[in-house]
Amino acid sequence: MKAYKSVILLLILISLAACSTPDETDRNTTIFNIQAWIDAPLTNAVLPLEPYKLIFHGANEAGVDEFEIHVNGVQQAVVPATASLFPQRSNKSLYYGEYSWSPPAPGTYLLAVFAGSQGELSSPAQVQVVVGQELDGLPVIEIETPIVSLEPTLTLTPTLTPTAEPEPCIFTSLVGLNCREGPGVLYDYVDSFVKDQSAPVVGASITGYHWYVVGPNTGLVCAVSNDPRYGYTTGLCEGQPQFTPPPEPTLTPTVQVRSAPAEEAKGCTVRQAGGAIICVSPCPRNAAPGEPCTP
């Protein structure tokens, strides 16, 4: 009889143990299946040296009570969790939290957030950020901190786009055109253009009415009109250096001296019987040699 009672008691204890084990297992699974993630900032973000609001979420079937915030492995704060207004994530309830973090100095920081439920913490959600590098022009203070379970990041190599060289300014004639020592017809020409002939522009006149070009035939710098009737330019022609023209040539007037009219001959040469030639006026008829002369 005693043996029968012992067997019954043993069966009752086994049944009770079997009934309690699933509840404890379910409770542990619920607690330890906590998730946490950081919404802002993103990893490798560059932040200003001023307070920044961290935003994060957590999810767990049994709920999330609080969030722990760590910076470079040191706990900074514990903030309460607030039920999210968004739909549930699978069969887990969503919770979110916020924390205003003030970075103490420029540098690289590892931010970590843990979601807590019933005294248990999730694995850390982590992001690495840089503070003050671009906005303040201050040097980055590198902090040697091991990074745990960071998501792989994609390193982008910047592609340098070559800057196109500006096209030089070129003058092209529309007609036959003289290229002169200075800007105007008072200067002598040192080169010339035929229609559709081109030359590089190296400057402009002070008045802006002429271009200075390298002569297409002689290679000498000379001036041509920028009147659109005579030619046109292509390329980057703004900001050409101004050339000071040489002094205008002085025109010396030519004085023509008219010689006095030759005295009109009043007679002619006459050969005498003895062979001498004299000038006789008036000239006799059939005089010989009879050249005009003045007695």
Could you say which of 3.30.70.20, 2.30.30.40, 3.40.605.10, 3.30.950.10 is the CATH number of the domain covering 170-243?
A: 2.30.30.40
Distance of CA 196 to the CA centre of its chain: 35
Assess whether pLDDT exceeds 80 at residue 87. Answer: no
CATH number for 35-131: choose from 2.130.10.10, 1.20.1260.10, 1.10.40.50, 2.60.40.10: 2.60.40.10
Q: Which among 37, 236, 212, 253 has a CA at the least distance from the CA of 126?
A: 37
Q: Which of 75-79, 152-156, 286-290 has the lowest mean pLDDT?
A: 152-156
Q: How many CB atoms lie within 10 A of CB 50?
A: 11
Q: What is the pLDDT of residues 89-126, one digit of tens each?
A: 555 788 989 999 999 999 999 999 999 998 899 999 99
Say what the pTM is: 0.37
Q: Name the more confident of 261 and 29.
A: 261
Rounded mean pLDDT, 158-173:
83
Domain limits, CATH 2.30.30.40, in the chain: 170-243
The token pair that represents 64 in the structure block = 């999330």
